[in-house]
Every structure is written in C-alpha cells, then in structure tokens.
Structure 1
C-alpha cells in the first residue's frame, strides 16, 4: 500500500473516531507535565506519533508553553501566530525581536481571561528545547527567482534549495515525514485532550490558519470557537488560480499605495502619482540598469525584489523614498534598505512547501503561467508568480499534504478577519476559504496582515467572540487603524 493510500485511509478513520479515539488515547498515555520555564511561562512536552498516519509507530515530542490566566480563567485558548514559526517564543515578547509591538498588549488582555497556550510545529521550537531541526545548508532566498536572469540562475536556485532540503531531511531523520499541517492538526487535537477540553478553542494567525483548516476537516465534532486572522488559502487545488489571486491583489496594492501616498504630505512621492512614478522607473530599467551610488547599478530583478518587500504597508514610506531617489539618479535603496532577505537554515520553508507546493510546474510550464499573469497584472502583480514559486523551487515532495477544497460541515460559527490591505495572505484567497465554511462570519477591516493585535475595533469583536461566542453583525467592518500610523 503506498503512502497516499495509507494517509487517505487514516484520514477516513480519524473522521469516524469518536472523542475517545486516537488523539485522546495518545494524550492519556502522555500527559503534560508542566514546569516553570521563565517569563511567567509554564512549559511541557507533548509526546505524539512521528506520523499520525502510523499512530502506533515511532514517537516524537512537540514543545508547548502556557501563560496562565491572571484573572478567573475561562479555560485554555490555544494560539498559533503563524510562520510557520515558533509560537511559544512569541509568548516571551521581550526576548523575540520579531514580535509585533502590539502583541504584548494583546497577550495581557487574553490572559486576563484565558490560559494562553501555544504549541510549536514539528521541527520548530525555542532555543534549548531540544526540538529544533537545524539544517546544515541554508536555503535559497525566496526572492531568488525574481533576481534570476537566465535558466542557469533558475537551476542554481533549485540546487541550493535541494541541498537545503536534503540537509534538513538528514537532521530530522524519520521525523521528516511528520512535517505537514495534517500532522500538526492531529497534534492540536492531542493537546486539546491533554488539556482536558471537549472542544478546541483556537485563534490562528497566518500559517496558524492552515492548521485550523486541517482541524476543521479532521475533527469537526471537536471544534469550539475558532478565529482565523490573515488566512492562508490551502484550498486551491491548482497552482495557477492560487497565483492569480496573489497577482491581482498585488496589482491592486500598487493603486492603494498610490492613494495612501496622495493623502500623506510626508510621502516622498506626495507631489506626483506614485503609481505612474513606479511605471516610469520600470520603463527605465527595461532599457538599461539603473544607476546607484558607489558606482553600482540595479537591474530589473533587483528593482522588483525590493518592490515586493516595499509593497508591505509597513514599508510604504521607505518604498516611496526609494522610488523618488531612483528617479533622481540613485537607486541604491533597492540594494540596501529594500534588499532581499537571504535564505535561512530553518525547516519553516520546508514545512510550507510540503503543504502548499508538493507538485511544482516545470520551468517551461511556468513560462506560460507567467505570461498569463502578465496579462491580468502587467504593472506589478505578475512578479508574485516568481516570488511564491521561489519559496519551493528545487524541493521534492517526500512529505506532503496537498491543497484541496475544504470538506467542512456541521461546525459551530467560525470568525474570520480579512484585511483589505492584506497582500501577505491575499484577501481574495482568504475570502475563498471563508466561502467554503457555511458557518463562517467574515469581519472585514481596513488594515493589512496580522492586525488583530493592532486594531482596537477588531480586538473588541474577537474578544467578544472568544469569550461569549457573540459574532459581529453581518456586514460589520472595522476601519483602518494600523495604516494610519505608518510613517509616523
């Protein structure tokens, strides 16, 4: 029996298992033993199968951390802040430089009513936990295909990612096959049972919503209140339609960047149409590389790579300044302040590729995809094809949980927050996921990705839902708050 058949049979079995099934049996055998672990946290290790498709096989453990409630607790609230990353470390905001500045306030509010619990995905954890899978070879930069100018550049990108994946697999050994959202969803259910809860109360941001989508399918009878923030669309079975949503979103984002700049006297392009300024710059770079200080130049790929980074609303002021300086003869900001990030040694990217891109197009197939993306998003959005594909180009699908339409019914009301400025997990894809859940209630807001902590209107509605189950009225919209603070 091949692995896909085995997983399909296990999925069917899991959907049929009652409350006393596989996950609960595992949790009963391996109860949580909480210990103080600094910063007011209690930590434990949850023992789970390496692969839930073989529940009687080898075991591993995942790291769990809890911020006990400061007031009368309504019970545990399991959270995942995305990535895929180390959510337990996010409960220690003073020690994590990547923590959003609004998160400490949100955690303070949450723990006044809940025991806030985080579980780390397979291979990712806090330093010192012993659960980290470190890869000897770094992966290629996710901007690498944007920078690529020849087929040889594409091949070099693939080779670097393949070497990274091989080194991760070597370190992880058999645990490699458990690095999928399908397995993490099973881990969440084992955690629910170990916490003594009949239903899972969960708040997921970004990649945390991928685990939630799997949980809805696998354990619908154990779903309590679930909040989706910045949902990543794991429901598009075909690669190109998934990319089209990103391309359309980014194309519209260029217009939103232009409109924001027109309203802001402190925007470096306030005195002109910022969108047309970008068009002028791209026309110039197609004719010849752009001059930069110290005798350097910026080629087309470097310009677009910096723009993908700068198109995040939080970096709009730097992006506008970079365009202005480049038009005035110095494009150096695209090599410095907006320079592409380098590849890392974490298994985070590997987990994403296992879930989202187990089957990649060939180089030739992608040329056709890119041509069609240029037709619908010719000014900027077409580049998203290279950006998203660059995450996984060169990886092989040794472990996978492929995207597919959601198969969900008979679950309680689920709250979605979708940001009109979200180009990270694009808002078109988020809406696509919500439409497949009959009980979903969508709360639109005017900010971007991961705004739960920074938008007070959003927080009020989410708090009411998590504590009492009260949903916002249909059609409720929260105005932008975070974007108003950008550049100040």
Structure 2
C-alpha cells in the first residue's frame, strides 16, 4: 500500500508543484461523470447513464442523483433561493494565511440544493484586491479536489501575471467539504500520520489487505465525524455554490481560472450556467467523458512516462545523479530503492517518523509536477540512497500539508476521496477490476501497482454522476490548456475536453510537469493574459 502525493498549495520553493493541485493519484478513489439538471439547463445534451456504457466496456456502478441537478429552474431567478443570491461578502482579516493584502469572508449556500429549507453551510472566500482599478473578479480553483482556494492566494503572485492582478480582484474559495468550508473530519493528525506512512510492497497480498483495512477505517471515520455533509460534496453542488459566489461579488458573468480538477469544476459550471460564463481558462483538463478506470490508466501511463523523463534528465546531468547505466537500468534502481525502504525505513532525524516506502514514493511523484525541481529531486534521492530520508520526508510532508508540529493545515487528504467517490463511479465487475489492476502493474511497473482497485468500495455514500461529455452550448469561447508531458492530467484529456466543448480553443505547452499557466516561460502566459485583459481569443491549436 502506498499513498502517492496529494499535492496542493505548497510553500515556496515548492509552490509550483501543485499549480494544478490534483492529487498525484487523482482518482485512486473513484471515477468521473456528468449529467446535470434539467434538459433546458444542459442544452439538450444526453447523459450516458451507468448502463449506457460503450459497447464492450464493463458496466459502471449504479449511481444516485446529485441534489444540485434536476432543479425546477434557474436558482438565481427563483424566490426560494433569493436569500443566497442577494447576499454580499463582508471582507475582513484572514486567519492562517500568508498573503499580503488578502481579505477574507464567507457566503452562505444551501447544504442540499434541491431543498433550501434543509439547512445551510458557509463557504470560505478570500480576495487579493486588484493592484490597479479593478475591472472584475477572477475566481480561481487550484484543483484537488480538496485544494484550498483561500490558501491558493498565497501562490498567486508567483503564478498570475502582474498585469492580470492589476486588473482583477483575484478570488479563492474553499469548496464545500474542504478546509474552512464545512471541512470534513476523518482521522486525527496522529492517525493521518499512520495512514500516510502505511507501507507494504505494492501489488502484494499484504498491500491489498492493508489497503482494505485503511479504506474501511477512513470511510467509517469520515462517516462518524461528517456523515451529515458527505452526500452533498459533489462537483455539481460546488458549481452551484460558485454561482452564488459570482452573485455575491456583484458580477453578471463569472471570469474563472481553474487548474486540474478545477477544469472539471469549471466545465461543470459552464454546463449548468452557460449564459453566465465570462472569460474561462481551464488548464490541465480532466476529461469528463471517461470512466474511473480510464482515469487510472491514463494517470498510470502519465506518471510512468514522467518518471522516465525524470530519470533520463538525471542520467544526462553533469553531476549529482544517483542512478547509473541506461534509462531502464535507472528505473530498476529506483524500484529497488523503493523496495528497500518498504523493508527498512530510513532515518530522518525524528526517531518516531522514519521514511517509509509510501512516503518515498509520495515525494518522488510530487516532484514530477514541476521539472524545474528535478535537480532538487535528484539530491533528495541521492541522500535517500545513501541512507538519509530527511529531504524525501520533507517533500512528502509538504505534499500532504503536514506542519512541523504534526498538525495538518487542511483536510485535503480526505476531501479528495469524499468528492471523487461522489463524482466518479467505477466498473462494477470485480473480476474485470482485478484484471485491470494486474495490467496496470505490468505495463507501468513504477506507478501502475498504486492505481489498481476501487478506493470507494467502502465509502458510505453512493456515486452521484455518470461519465458524459460536456458541451456547455452557448458558453464559449473557453480556453483549454494542455501540457504534453503532464503526468497527472495527460495531454489527451485536454484535447478531449476542447473537442467536447461547443466553443473552445486548445493551447498546447510542449513540456514536462503539471499545467502550464505560470510555468511555461511566457508563451502560454501571453496568450492567456491577452484573453483575460483584452478579450483576444488565442489561435486554436497554438503550441509553444
């Protein structure tokens, strides 16, 4: 068993690791989907349904229905929701946020969108006021799911250009169930340490048993502490919340920048509210039309190729690479290192927290998000192969947002499961899943063994959404960005989303790492900035 990197907002210099903020094993827990509310709202598009899979594809699990779909009309025009749409945000100081000039507040939304009388929850919102005269609000989402958008404001100065920040109030929010927004509670900090460190040889019977035990333990803990909100944490509900945020900001249309999972949230919003889509940038896209198992396979291949690129770069480095020989030999050396740490954890300076194999894998996978940090990764691995796990543990702790005092800054480790298990049903045929697990392990030996199985098998709430394309008719033009060497959201997913959307252009960054805006070196940034600031839609198919 291992828990690959749950990479969200990380402090400098590792902030860029999570620019897309997908967990490194994005969908280890479940799968994907898409059938929103009324036919009028979805522009006549047909959903797939669990039984309506493509010929030859195993049927998916049966799904329920999100409380945020099948509403009688547009909530923004329904008197039953007026109390939500007529509110304004009272801005004040931010707690636990290292972002100069940031202001924080809350909005109130219905817990169950189809029953506003059933109770409310508060959504935490943060703002970095425009450096000049504000022309609007740019709402952002860093991904995950489970990434804190309020905490994301700390990274905005290194990701979003000065010109855009001068013209926009940059807005971050914690989606429902995340951190400050009715954040779910599951394991204690001490139990979370144990969970993230739990290790057995991936693919072994011992690993299967350990995974099963932890899946049950986490699910039971989340239900015990947060069972009242778990059924309402799906992405359609978060997209409805985002429309209330738009109204509270005083905007007629939503301008939006979403990374990784944030593209799925943004596309879902565009599907529900196409008439309110302003300038939309979706960077490092998820493909809403594919199954959980296709997601897992895509990530297994993506991370395996990224590891190969990392190792090739290491072998070409003039010094400091701990691997020798060919790329294949280097991969075997890395696998041997992981196996040795599975068997004998490395010292870290803290006798109570040695580096386990799970933590070592988490650190390495985290580094694949940003090729600018590969040199740092080489050094951390060199230290590890010489017997010191300190630097690798440091990276693993950053990826899980563990503080030096042993507390966790956010609940991202568990929020990702809570959202994914609602959004993404998996294949129902257990025999097929087992066969697919074996295939991934054989074809992608470094990462594949980590991506098999069904992490939602014991989740207390059934999935609520089926895989289906998103067209968002009438919403465009939307800018979709894909990175050719993206390990977490493979490039073909961005290609697919751009094709599905009724009016979209695709920008391509030819490079390694996760997402592009803020790390491409200028080309992608110039195109996106012109779109956000001047309304200039980039040329479709532009590559740089």
TM-score (norm 2): 0.71
1:111-158 Cα shifts (integer Å, max 9, x gaps): 3101111221113245xxx84433344457578687456445423333
Higher helix share: 1
2:160 corresponds in structure 1 to 106
Question: Which of 219, 223, 228 is residue 165 of structure 1 equivalent to?
Answer: 219
Superimposed CA distance per residue, residues 320-339 of structure 1 (whole angstroms, 9 cap, x where no aligned partner): 5677789xxx5746797269
Counterparts in 2 of 1:392 and 1:425: CA distance versus 1, 3 Å: farther
Cα deviation, residue 202, structure 1 = 0.7
Instruction: Answer yes or no: is 1:135 the counterpart of 2:186.
Output: yes
Partner of 1:454: 519
Deviation, 1:196, is 2.2
Per-residue CA deviations over 1:387-441 (Å, capped at 9, x if unaligned) read: xx58656434346445433243222111112122211222232322222113221
Where do 1:336-485 residues align within 5 Å? Answer: 337=392, 346=411, 347-359=414-426, 364-374=431-441, 377-386=443-452, 392=456, 394-398=458-462, 400-445=464-509, 446-455=511-520, 456-478=522-544
Shift of the alpha carbon at 1:52? 1.2
Matched, 1:33 2:90: yes
Helix, strand or coil at the partner of 1:435? helix
Greater alpha carbon shift after TM alignment, 141-150 vs 240-249: 141-150
Q: 1:197 to 1:22 in 2, by over 3 A?
A: farther
Query: How far did residue 365 of structure 1 move?
Result: 4.1
SS in 2 for 1:470: coil
Alignment of 1:27-426 (within 5 A): 27-37=84-94, 39-83=100-144, 84-91=146-153, 93=154, 99=155, 103-104=157-158, 106=160, 108-126=162-180, 131-137=182-188, 138=191, 141=195, 147-148=201-202, 150-236=204-290, 238-266=291-319, 268=321, 272-279=325-332, 282=335, 308-309=365-366, 311-312=368-369, 313=371, 316-317=374-375, 320=378, 330=385, 332=387, 337=392, 346=411, 347-359=414-426, 364-374=431-441, 377-386=443-452, 392=456, 394-398=458-462, 400-426=464-490
Structure 2: gaps of 5 or more residues: 1-61, 348-353, 403-407
CA contact (8 A) 2:64 2:465 kept: no
Check the 8 A contact 1:141/1:340 in 2, yes or no: no
**Map of 2:41 onto structure 1:** none
CA distance 1:77–1:59, change in 2 (3 Å):
same
The equivalent residue for 1:485 is: none
Which 5+ residue runs of structure 1 have no aligned equivalent?
94-98, 479-488
Tell me the matched-pair count: 454
Is 1:141–1:391's contact at 8 Å kept on the other side of the alignment? no
| C-alpha spacing 1:69/1:282, structure 2 compared with 1 (3 Å) | closer
Q: TM-score, normalised by structure 1?
A: 0.78
Quick check: 54-63 or 265-274, which moved more? 265-274
- Quick one: distance in 2 between partners of 1:333 and 1:46? 47
Distance 1:337 1:65, change over 3 A: closer
